Amino acid sequence: MWKLLSLVVLVVVFVFLYVKTVVDFNKNVQVEETWWKLTKPLVEDTVIKPFKINVSNETLNDLKERLQNALPFEKSLTFDQNYGINEVLLNTVIDFWKKQYRWREREVFLNKYPQYFTNIQGLDIHYIHVKSSKCEDNNKVVTLLLLHGWPGSIRDFYELISLLEVPDDGRKFSFEIIVPSLPGYGFSEAPELPGLSTPQMAVILKNLMSRLNIEKYYIHGVDWGAFIASHMAALYPEKITGVHSSVCWLNVPSAYARLVLFSAFPSLILDGKYEHLVYPLVDKVEFFVQESGYLHLQATKPDTIGIALRDNPIGLAAYITEKFSTWSNPAWRNLDDGGISKYDLNKILDNIMIYWITGSITTSLRLYKEYFNQLDLSLSIDSLRKSRYKNLISLRTHENAGHFAQYEAPEVLARDIGEFIRIVEESRSKFHHSSLESN
């Protein structure tokens, strides 16, 4: 037991020293309203323009030619995904892409929700805006901002939107939903200057909501979207009514210290049914080391890997599909199909296509470089999360969904979001009534 504890301490110290070496923890976060283009016009463009996805035949023919002329893949040494994506799995994805995936049909699907562009701080920001079709008895409209991450896009939330826009007898409100493409992702423009990290994106998205005359709203974020949501709540508490996330992040030093100190007696800080999610700590550290190669590469040399992926649709598909496998469930890397058979390949390829047709893979990876002035690890401990999230309303654990919950279990996620907002709305209503009575 003590040897184990010593090993854990050594690993934590090593990680701290490593990060301290390559990261400037004392760097002050700049959240000014930066203009992200090299030149600024005399008059800013504030027009909101409707948009529909319409990919040229030339782009589609070029993609088809690249897929058809691909070189054969190297035969994998094992039947699982422990060396990276297995060539059998990749062939399955590429064959589906070439023979069954129909972009023009998918394009119609992706255009099912109203989409727009508007210029914020020099960047053309793309977003979906689904306005509430409120019922007669459902007179309250709640605005919900949905934020994706990497390797995600607006496609992440289509099933979720369809569930949330349907009236629910169990809640006394309907949703107005905004889904932006993050700057440098998908159809949103990338900055021409360095420095656009998650706090700066928080400023841009706050300004987007203000452009839409929306001054109070909830946020649901996943991956980078969870970081941005956290920044928005901290920077603009008067605007953010509540934050919901399927990926809650910690960067509180005391949380890491407790994680190590209580590794010998985990029952002191978490319920026994959650112990397997965190301990043995050595196993979790080992998994992080094995699966974080992408993180170091994207946080140090994003353009190098970005160029390779931008020019090669099969490489792009391999890189993103592997993340859908391992991040959904760590055990899936030991399966011959990587667990991908549990997904509809149309959904994964929709997402890959958005990166391909917009040429945004390199600019999306740059967010890792910009952000890497701090280290956040995702943990699953109620008591540790409370050290960062001071007003934690609800915390739920689901066995059937991982990092990509919006794809794996959209019904569960929609139910959780609705329940979270219901709790907050009822609490706000009670507070309002008690304030009136006291006056």
Q: Which two tokens stand for residue 306?
A: 């970005």
Q: What are phi and psi of 255, to 5 degrees?
A: -65, -40
Contact 124, 118 (CB under 8 A): yes
Q: Which of 101, 319, 368, 407 is catalytic?
A: 368
pLDDT for 285 equals 74
pLDDT for 383 equals 39
What is the C-alpha separation between 202 and 299, in angstroms, rounded?
20
Indicate the DSSP class of residue 394: -
DSSP state letters, 61-114: HHHHHHHHTPPPPPPPSSSSSBTBS-HHHHHHHHHHHHHT--HHHHHHHHTSS-
Residue 416 is among the residues annotated as catalytic for this protein: no
Which region, left, alpha or beta, applies to residue 121 given φ > 0 means left and ψ of -120 to 50 means alpha? Answer: left
Q: Which of 279, 403, 407, 416 is catalytic?
A: 403
Cα–Cα nearest to 352, from 384, 313, 382: 313
What is the C-alpha separation between 352 and 417, in angstroms, rounded?
26
pLDDT for 109 equals 98
Cα–Cα nearest to 348, from 180, 152, 86: 152
pLDDT for 286 equals 77
Which region, left, alpha or beta, applies to residue 46 given φ > 0 means left and ψ of -120 to 50 means alpha? Answer: alpha
Cα–Cα nearest to 188, from 116, 132, 85, 256: 116
pLDDT for 54 equals 98
- Domain layout of the chain by residue ranges: 2-438
Q: Give average pLDDT by consecutive 10-residue segment, the chain, 439 residues.
A: 49 51 44 92 95 98 96 92 94 97 98 98 98 68 96 97 83 91 99 94 98 97 93 92 80 62 64 66 76 90 96 97 90 91 95 98 97 51 46 65 66 77 73 52
Sequence-distant (6+) residues with CB within 8 A of 358 are 186, 187
What is the C-alpha separation between 157 and 161, in angstroms, rounded?
6
pLDDT for 159 equals 95
pTM greater than 0.75: yes
Contact 212, 178 (CB under 8 A): yes
Residue 350 is among the residues annotated as catalytic for this protein: no
Q: Domain 2-438: give its CATH architecture.
A: 3-Layer(aba) Sandwich (3.40)
Distances (CA, A) of 69 to 64, 151, 320, 325, 353: 9, 26, 21, 26, 18
Residue 127 is among the residues annotated as catalytic for this protein: no
CA 13 from centre of chain = 29
DSSP state letters, 11-79: HHHHHHHHHHHH--TTPPPP-S----SSS--SS----EEEE-----HHHHHHHHHHHHTPPPPPPPSSS
Cα–Cα nearest to 384, from 290, 283, 289, 274: 274
What is the C-alpha separation between 340 and 317, in angstroms, rounded?
13
Q: Which of 127, 156, 158, 223 is catalytic?
A: 223
Contact 379, 196 (CB under 8 A): no
pLDDT for 27 equals 44
pLDDT for 38 equals 96
What is the C-alpha separation between 115 and 178, in angstroms, rounded?
10
DSSP state letters, 298-364: HHH-HHHHHHHHHT-HHHHHHHHHHHHHHHH-GGGGGSTTTTGGGS-HHHHHHHHHHHHHHT-HHHH
Q: Which two tokens stand for residue 113?
A: 């929700």
